[in-house]
Amino acid sequence: DADTYLFPENVARYVEWKKWSHDEHHYFGHVLNHRVSDRGVSIVAGAAAFFSRATLLAAADAFRRMPMENGNLEEDGTCRDAYTG
């Protein structure tokens, strides 16, 4: 998003304050709670989502293992954009 800004120094201080390591799985950002039933469910908003190194590496491995066929089907579990291929 054009209205999302990341200041690395602020993120570094936040991570240090939380006592997190880049070798641990972390996913954080602005949590949305639109409905009462969503409370307690972590839904992080759009471009303001941040991942630790461990989480990015795990996601990359998961995406790499996804099949690449059926490019014309939407939501088929493959690693590609259903609309652009």
Tens digit of pLDDT for each residue in 28-43? 877 776 666 766 666 6
Helix ranges (H only) for the chain are: 8-18, 53-65
Of 30, 48, 32, the residue nearest 40 (C-alpha)? 32
CA 55 to chain centre: 8
Q: 12 phi and psi, to 5 degrees?
A: -60, -45
State pTM to two decimals. 0.58
Distance of alpha carbon 54 from alpha carbon 59, whole angstroms: 9
What is the arithmetic mean of pLDDT over 44-70? 78
- 84 sits in the region (left: phi over 0; alpha: psi -120 to 50; else beta) called alpha
